[in-house]
Amino acid sequence: MKKHPKHRVTAVAVVINEEKKILLINGPKRGWEMPAGHVEEGEPLSSAVIRETKEETGIDIEIIRFSGIFQDVKGSICSILFIAKPIGGELQTSSESLELGYFDIEDAKRMVTWRSFKEQIEYCTHYKDPFVVEFNH
């Protein structure tokens, strides 16, 4: 019997507040990035992005729209990106977020060091139509 391929699916929240600033966390592994995490087996994408954002930041979000997909072909990771707005909760750090806050988009792109994360911010803040980006890093 042929084995099914194994892929990792992550849900990413691009949280933009009323001042048009983006929420970033400074994680212990990758530095500054958007709240995100693995989608659990049997978990809807929308529930995963809401749960991960709450766990990492203390913030409750409302999803505004699906934004796009970034696929790391070599790493077999598919990141599903959503635009969201904060609707409650209070900013608080966690084991996954040593620092966090809202930042101007241009400042955020300078703070983020991972190229694919910078590209995700760029795509999500500049394109209204859903996108698919495939890369081999």
Active-site residue flag, 99 = yes
Q: Is 82 exposed, middle or buried (0-12, 13-18, 19+ CB in 10 A)?
A: buried
CATH topology of domain 8-135: Nucleoside Triphosphate Pyrophosphohydrolase (3.90.79)
How far CA 83 is from CA of 4, 48, 125, in Å, comes to 31, 14, 9
pTM of structure: 0.92
Provide the pLDDT for residue 36: 97
Q: pLDDT tens digits, residue range 78-124?
A: 999 999 999 999 999 999 999 999 999 999 999 999 999 999 999 99
Per-residue pLDDT for 75 more than 80?
A: yes
Rounded CA-CA distance 66/128 in Å is 10
Q: One of 40, 43, 62, 99 is an active-site residue; which one?
A: 99
22, 112 contact by CB (below 8 A): no
